[in-house]
Structure 1
């Protein structure tokens, strides 16, 4: 993606490493100057910080890491208060990266305390969506981006494989529940098991699958090479990528309903970007 010249996909020769870096900087700086009217610890910021930290680590001279340091210090490296809810773990992607990059234990302290609490008193709620306590588990596809990479990062940071063991168990339960092996795609949650798309095919949400495939490389980059179930995550990434490729439009985008691009006939930018 970062190589110059025209790619196999037909991308313009102008879309080279410098162009990409320049655009990343523009996006990072624009978003920082135009904050949304919600908590800086909200999951939408967690997703932004997750991208921002990867950009910052790749381009250390850019604005990514300074912006994250400022955000983390202003928020005292906290999370929101729903300790079992995966959405409120999402800022932990960036906090943990900054703890490791800067040797700053304070950046890891609060998210670690939250995940320790979850592991020490794990929820036994059903994964069936909208049942009591279901969102104390990873019962919807988004959650597989929000929380598991933070557990894996904590294992790398602390050397404690207990975080990997917990993540492994919960991730596989969710995958067994939401992954459709016939289509190679994830249902967003159990409400969609029997709700068809307008064309009669199964309903798979673009961004829901985007969350999952964006989270898998974050898991794999910190998972030990000898971890027994690493091949499970590698295989899942390949299977999901192959299925998503079949759903991609000729212009490179994806639609909201992956198997029914005509309903609605709109590109789904958050899904496409993930």
Structure 2
């Protein structure tokens, strides 16, 4: 009897050490348990509600000087994140509210549909495709596929450079800006999920390898473009999320999978090196004088959470990094459910001052969107 009690106590002690650590603290790599006010359910719902109760933005700015003339990509990213979050929490009412926000675009607000002529516009199709995946309505499939297909269908007014990219079987919208590796891969990945047609995901993977070869540095980070030699935070964030998302669905027999995984893991290793002690990353990742920026931090957190949960990254190191960044990141949300310290939309420029002096926006959807992605990833 005494021996049985000792064995039982030993198992309890072992459980406490594994879960809470030797000092009784919550395991630093635990991605399942968080303080009540910082759980993904609580944070995700706050950000989802904020989006649903805010008018359309103008490229992320929720307080534009003039009403927007079309749906812009930061709205798309937040919309998609909201749909993902509603599905992850099995909240049918919330999902329906996100769908209800979309329905006017099919009726009286068709003028708000973006033209399918640019990577930042074509990503719009990811939202109707997510709606189709939920309810199977043909109208959503037709709209989404139009944006996916047009990304590889060369228009009559294409430039000679665009035609050259298309001749090599890349998208005519190719421009080797790091942002593209979410914009292109997201819509193509969604089209694959909706249709099971390998053409969509295979060409997205081929495109990803092109960008990896062109702008990934030896240290694992990326330049914004071949003309802008700075490792801008959110630009790298688009790449991190783009690789994580395509790897989640890329068939194991795809010939580019190994290359993309290598690029992804190389980047994640670099991010561990440049993460600050509080869990944040900087506006220029490898510049110690740059300010700590939240949208990039959220994107890197998402990529690491996904990697740990998919088994691509070691939980001890990357789970700890993701947990630390999530717990710090949510402290940047103000009382109005707006993420602070978000870099404004940023074009390429080969100038350190250009990136260092970008405006810091409050509540910009460039930051709200990846918060929803992180909440969803933690719940998967």
Q: How would you bin the TM-score normalised by the shorter chain?
A: 0.7 to 0.9
Residue ranges of structure 1 left out of the alignment (5+ in a row):
127-133, 194-202
The secondary structure found in structure 2 opposite 1:140 is coil
Measured in 1, the distance between the counterparts of 2:94 and 2:253 equals 32
Q: For 1:109-148, what aligned pairs fall within 5 Å after superposition?
A: 109-121=142-154, 125=161, 136-148=173-185
Counterpart position of 2:95: 65
Counterpart position of 1:210: 237
Measured in 1, the distance between the counterparts of 2:93 and 2:70 equals 18
Residue ranges of structure 2 left out of the alignment (5+ in a row):
1-18, 56-61, 163-170, 300-380
CA contact (8 A) 1:178 1:190 kept: yes
Does residue 273 (structure 1) correspond to residue 298 (structure 2)? The answer is: yes
Q: Label 1:57 to 1:188 Cα distance change in 2 as closer, same or farther (>3 A).
A: same
Does residue 243 (structure 1) correspond to residue 270 (structure 2)? The answer is: yes
TM-score (norm 2): 0.59
Provide Cα deviations, 1:74-108, integer angstroms capped at 9, x if missing partner.
22298411x23111123333321211111122112
Q: For 1:65-214, what aligned pairs fall within 5 Å after superposition?
A: 65-76=95-106, 79-81=113-115, 83-121=116-154, 125=161, 136-180=173-217, 182-193=218-229, 203-214=230-241
TM-score (norm 1): 0.80
Measured in 2, the distance between the counterparts of 1:84 and 1:40 equals 13
Q: Label 1:54 to 1:236 Cα distance change in 2 as closer, same or farther (>3 A).
A: farther
CA contact (8 A) 2:80 2:130 kept: no
Figure out how many residues of one structure are paired with residues of the other and give that number: 252
Measured in 1, the distance between the counterparts of 2:172 and 2:226 equals 12
Runs of 4+ aligned residues of structure 1 deviating over 4 Å after TM superposition are none
Provide Cα deviations, 1:105-156, integer angstroms capped at 9, x if missing partner.
2112123123323323286627xxxxxxx99214211111112122122123
Counterpart position of 2:256: 229
